[in-house]
Amino acid sequence: MRTVWEYAQLDWQLTSRRIQKSDPDYALLPQDEKEKWDEHSWAYYKWVEQHVTVRLPGEEATTSLQWQSFDASLRFTVLSKVQELGADGWELVSARDPETRVEVGRAGLDGVPVGTPIRSAFYFKRPKDADD
C-alpha cells in the first residue's frame, strides 16, 4: 500500500454594511439592539455577516452563516473552524486571500465601507491509504 493525500478546503467571507431604520433588515434586529440605537442616536447600524463553507472529499459543501452583529448563539471564529478540521486529522498546508478590500480615509464617515469584504481560502490535506 502507498499513501496518497486527500484534500479539503475552507472558504471564509466577512462582509459588513450599514443599515438605517428605513432598511427592511431593521425589522430583524432584536428589540434590545433597537433600544441601544435610539439611546445612542446612531445614524446607522453596522450589519456584519460571516460565511464559512467547508468542502470535504466526497461530501456536499456545508455552509455556516453568522450574524456577528447581534446573534451570539451563532457566533464562531474562522480559527475555531480551522481547529475543528485539525482535530479531524486535517493539516493546514496553505491559505490565501483572494479578495480583501481595505479602504482608508474618513473611515466610515462618508458612507464608504471600510475593510470588507474579506475572503480567505484555507487548504488542508491528510493521508489516505490507497491500494495501488
pLDDT per position as a tens digit, 80-122: 889 999 999 999 999 887 766 655 444 445 555 555 578 889 9
DSSP secondary structure string, 97-124? EEEE----SSTTTTS---S--EEEEEEE
Looking at every residue in the chain, the average pLDDT score rounds to 80
pLDDT per position as a tens digit, 60-75: 888 776 666 666 666 6
Q: What is this structure's pTM?
A: 0.71
As a whole number of angstroms, the distance between CA 126 and CA 90 comes to: 5
How many domains are there within the chain?
A: 1
Q: Would you state the pLDDT for residue 3?
A: 81
Give yes or no for a contact between 32 and 63, defined as CB atoms under 8 angstroms apart.
Answer: no
CA angle, 61 then 122 then 132, to 5°? 75
56 lies in which domain range? 2-130
Q: Would you state the pLDDT for residue 99?
A: 66
